[in-house]
Structure 1
């Protein structure tokens, strides 16, 4: 745990791997924290300096009242980069973190060498937008505990949940480390997502990853379309995984990242 002052607040970060190696920055999704990337540290730190960031209002990062915006979330990340001396980095993000990854690539193309947006959206559609008002209402009444089971269940197929009770317990604990302001603020940010018309601007190499069983967060068809729209994109589907596909199959996600980075 390291707290870095950025954009007027303290942001929790974790750094691993050899100093001087190329940077890889991991951006978490809503109600996620740096622990969601732990399984990838052994595979990446032979060759990369890995930076994991807790989003505003999540886990040990400071919380501020909503609303949040993608400008605010990207400014948080860029402030961390400036404090840590990150001049150039690959960026990986899932869900809201995937949206933030794309927002960073649009704002700071000279800083970002490659991106891996995973299971995310670049524009609102009715079935995705409809998820969030009930979650806002339930969390307002019952707190984060009121949405923890619903959220964890939505992320993973039943077969995974039944086979990995300990892991599901840790995932619920991770969700509960989110502040109510952080949750509501990040929902407001993701409901503002509107990057579809700007995707053709992205020229850096981009790998778009989807879980085959994710039907809402960032389905395969959506991620494929993104890959076809940017200038230098490709798509990979991870079989038998839902929305949080990196946790469901860490080895496959490791292989995807390393193969992509090594091809650059």
Structure 2
């Protein structure tokens, strides 16, 4: 018996090419859809795909301006990113799915649920928030200015030191993440960072009538507290903080994250 069927392609929405990859286990297998963070591409989920392929139909894609997707030339907003997600699931033929979103992928998924709740049977939200912080606009404008002046390689160097624990900054893992961030087109970063300056999907939280699992790296600043508070606004929610992990726990501590993800995906008896 063969393994999962892997397909990669491009879907065009509103003139923008979106790169996607599918690992399809079986026509009747459930779908799991992944949404990546700012400055990463679909390979950020490689360890999760390796663990889950064969039991799930898996869809990953590069958000606009990232990976092999097209490069926007103007500021984006969260509803546009959510509309990309919904259009791509339509294109693939997905009628119902579990969605796993990382960082920027969290408000993207919440906005998509707000637009079409019936698509989702479960959400797994990782190191992201429902609305921008009060300091969000100033933070992202400073990051945009830095990237324009010094380039994405310099921004990658700073970002790796923020996202990973200090004892990993010189590791091969850090080098891979640094290369991924540095490869992000400048205008792609600027367009999506602009979407993060000011957004609010918090009204969706009280409407979530499906299981929601929230996971954060325990060392990701204020994020664990923020996500724990989010969980308190959702009817069927559980929150878990992963020790010794920062902003991208699925990448930094994949074995531990995969255990938490498997628990989140388990259907109650």
Which TM bucket (shorter chain)?
A: over 0.9
C-alpha deviation, 1:158, in angstroms? 0.1
After TM superposition, give the deviation of residue 70 of structure 1 in Å. Answer: 1.2
- Is the CA contact 1:102–1:117 (under 8 Å) kept in the aligned structure 2? no
CA contact (8 A) 2:20 2:61 kept: yes
Give the length in aligned residue pairs. Answer: 260
1:14 is aligned to 2:21:
yes
Cα shift at 1:196: 2.1
Residue 155 of structure 2 contacts residue 182 of structure 2 at CA under 8 Å; is this kept in 1? no
Alignment of 1:99-138 (within 5 A): 99-138=107-146
Q: Which moved more, 1:129-138 or 1:219-228?
A: 129-138
- Kindly indicate whether the alpha-carbon contact (under 8 Å) linking 1:64 and 1:181 is maintained by their aligned counterparts in 2: yes
Is residue 264 of structure 2 the alignment partner of residue 260 of structure 1? yes
Aligned Cα RMSD in Å?
Answer: 1.5
TM-score (norm 1): 0.93
CA distance in 2, matches of 1:189, 1:243: 19
User: SS in structure 1 opposite 2:117?
Assistant: coil
Aligned mate of 1:87, from 74, 89, 95: 95
The equivalences for 1:71-82 within 5 A come to: 71-82=79-90
* In 2: Cα distance, 1:118 partner to 1:24 partner: 15
Question: What residue in structure 2 maps to residue 181 of structure 1?
Answer: 187
Please report how far the alpha carbon of residue 42 of structure 1 lies from its aligned counterpart in structure 2 after TM superposition. Answer: 2.0
Structure 1: give runs of 5+ residues left out of the alignment: none
Change in CA separation of 1:188 and 1:145 when aligned onto 2, cut-off 3 Å = same
Q: Would you say 1:50 and 2:54 are equivalent positions? A: no
Q: Which residue of 1 aligns with 2:239?
A: 235
Give yes or no for contact 2:106–2:128 (8 Å, CA) kept in 1: yes
Per-residue deviation, 1:58: 0.4
Deviation at 1:6, TM superposition (A): 2.7
Q: Give distance in 1, aligned partners of 2:210 and 2:131.
A: 21
Q: Partners in 1 of 2:182 and 2:26 — Cα distance?
A: 33
Partner SS for 1:131: helix
Q: Deviations over 1:165-191 (max 9, x none)?
A: 211111111112211121111111112
Q: SS at the partner of 1:229?
A: coil
